[in-house]
Structure 1
Amino acid sequence: MPRRAASKYHNRKAARITAAGNILEFDSQKEARRYDELALLLAAGKSMPCDAEPVLYKAREGAAGKIITGNGTVLSADIGGLAAFEPDGVGHVSHFATCPAAEQFRRKGGDGR
């Protein structure tokens, strides 16, 4: 049996199932992860970028961590640690919390603008 030629960039295909039950096929894992991020943003009605990797969380009023749930709700929550033992659910962390270059994009001064 002849082998298929490897793709030029050695990508692995990925698939996602939409809320309507349709199957979307992507040429790479990275494209699929970006789709996940955009789907969360669309559901939230907000332009908050988030990490594609899901995490366990425990919702708690006043917690420092912010979680974006699958339906787009933004919650204050404890992330990882003890939250992994009795989680309220699975969500996504705001990219602002994990960005290694965050300091480059923070506004200078404390006037809130």
Structure 2
Amino acid sequence: MSIVVVATLHPKPEHRAAVITALETAIAAVHDEPGVEVYALHEGEDRLVMIEQYASHDLMAQHGRGKNLANLRAALDGKLTAPLDVQVLTPRPAGKPELGTLR
């Protein structure tokens, strides 16, 4: 079963554009990593949210140890109002199969 990660970032207002640019750069690279099923940026008024989905825990861990995430963390240094809030979730399908999970 896939693993879902929701990472919430709160950029400092003066760094919002730079944070978005850093995320967009990372997204392009991460899309080529093995086991990445979804790696997508979403915007809220005061936050940015990454919705991520991996084929397995091992492939998610590989992403966590990889250079793309290291580069992103370096690019975000000093630009957030709080540490990243990262939640690792296991899907709990319900209802129609095609609507009850991300994929």
TM over 0.5: no
Larger radius of gyration: 1
When the two structures are superposed, what TM-score results if normalisation uses the length of structure 1? 0.27
Larger strand share, 1 or 2: 1
Structure ranking higher on relative contact order (CA contacts 8 Å, 6+ apart): 2
Larger helix share, 1 or 2: 2
